[in-house]
Amino acid sequence: MCHFNVMHAYLALAILTLEFESSTIVLITIGTVNIMISLKRQLPKIELHSHLDGSVRPSTAAEIAEEEGIELNCSDLRELTERMTAPPSCTSLVEYLERFELPLLLMQSRAALKRIAYETAEDAALENVRYLEVRFAPQLHTGRGLSIDEIVGAVAEGLSAAEAKYGHTVRIILVCMRHHAQADNEEVVRAASRLAGLGVVGVDLAGDEAGYPNELHEEVFGLANQLGLPITIHAGEAAGACSIRCAVEKLHARRIGHGVRLREDAELLQLMSEQRIPLEMCVISNVQTKAVPSMESHPIREYLDGGLAVTVNTDNPTVSATNQTREYENLARRFRFTERDFMKVAENGIEAAFADGELKGRLRAQFRQEWRELGLVGSGEAGESRA
């Protein structure tokens, strides 16, 4: 697939935005050839919440198993895909998390980690994600003797190769697991601090939120805070708003993963809005894990309109059978998101990124430029939206 900006550097393009059966199509003319591409795909995007082990292509899983002699007991690629993808409606977050067992079996060598990291960053680039934070729990990849430094090094190599090819920016968040011992999680936090040079920009807490609540992890994230690491915490997904409050007040969370159940506490919602604490929302995943009873009851529209710093994310492209474009299409169809909403979400994403001011400034300029090329803003400031 041609990469839009690369094409743009070498060829004269004519871009026309059309409304077609209530969805926007971008018509790109290259010479005498017209290409119709959905505007949702063309919009520049930010992805802040993407798990590496939830992003493994099934075809890659099959090839790694073959190369490394790992028996998966699957008859064909279709069965393998089914085992790596959660049903549209799981009974709980725990059932959803079972879909990670197979990919984790295959993510125990440097070569496998490097390849999966490269492909995860590549898949995001093809959805026009311009800035990506990929997260993974290094302690889940030590099964065949790799050290944490070797694991992060292999992932960083794969991500750097994809950055070099596609020109986007990819950073790493290291994940502490709720069911792991405190000493193991502290080792992850120290590694995150030590490995900033490999692109590690923060730490997270993931796993069974209901079974292992935030209160158990105060010391680990106290250490992360002391070391100056930006912190995001999965909260308000499988537990209530009190889990979000604890993440903010006791675990020093600068962002919240999901935060679906924030509306249960109006005072906290107000505080999060005033303090601009971003929510990494993953709508398709949230419906699967029963964080919300149905798509219609997801609060993303209410939160965005209420002034919360909402961002749009995939969580797990393979496990949730999604990608950024599908998330955008779902939001447009089910929640009436307009181009203006998508631009707001992207601005929120840049603001929320664990990135320095210089990189954020570059991303803002790049997004304005792409919005102008897509005819979404005038030639003046980015705020002059026509949407």
**Which positions lie near Zn ion, rule CB under 5 A?**
315
* Number of neighbours of residue 202 by Cβ within 10 angstroms: 23
The residue among 47 and 315 lying less far from Zn ion, judged by its C-beta, is: 315
Please, what is the minimum distance in Å from the beta carbon of residue 24 to Zn ion? 29
The residue among 127 and 315 lying less far from Zn ion, judged by its C-beta, is: 315
The residue among 315 and 370 lying less far from Zn ion, judged by its C-beta, is: 315
Spatial distance between the Cα atoms of 51 and 172, rounded to a whole number of angstroms: 10
Instruction: Name the residue with tokens 């998101």.
Output: 337
- Helices 241-249 and 266-274: angle between axes, nearest 10 degrees: 40
CA distances from 86 to 37, 91, 203, 239, 289 (A): 29, 10, 25, 20, 9
Please, what is the minimum distance in Å from the beta carbon of residue 135 to Zn ion? 7
Please, what is the minimum distance in Å from the beta carbon of residue 237 to Zn ion? 8
CA-angle at 56, arms to 51 and 60, nearest 5°: 160
Which residue has the closest beta carbon to Zn ion?
315
What are the structure tokens assigned to 265, written together?
Answer: 């506490």
The residue among 28 and 177 lying less far from Zn ion, judged by its C-beta, is: 177
Please, what is the minimum distance in Å from the beta carbon of residue 29 to Zn ion? 40
**373 neighbors 69 (Cβ within 8 angstroms):** no
Please, what is the minimum distance in Å from the beta carbon of residue 206 to Zn ion? 6
CA dihedral 7, 338, 52, 363 (to 10 degrees): 60
Q: Is 33 exposed, middle or buried (0-12, 13-18, 19+ CB in 10 A)?
A: exposed
Catalytic one of 133, 237, 280, 370: 237
**Residues contacting 335, CB < 8 A, separation 6+:** 298, 300, 301
Please, what is the minimum distance in Å from the beta carbon of residue 272 to Zn ion? 18
- Establish whether 237 is a catalytic residue: yes
**Residues contacting 3, CB < 8 A, separation 6+:** 125, 166, 167
The residue among 43 and 238 lying less far from Zn ion, judged by its C-beta, is: 238
Three-class SS state of 123 = helix
The residue among 24 and 348 lying less far from Zn ion, judged by its C-beta, is: 348
Please count the helices (runs of H) and the strands (runs of E) in the chain: 17, 11
Write out the catalytic residue numbers. 237
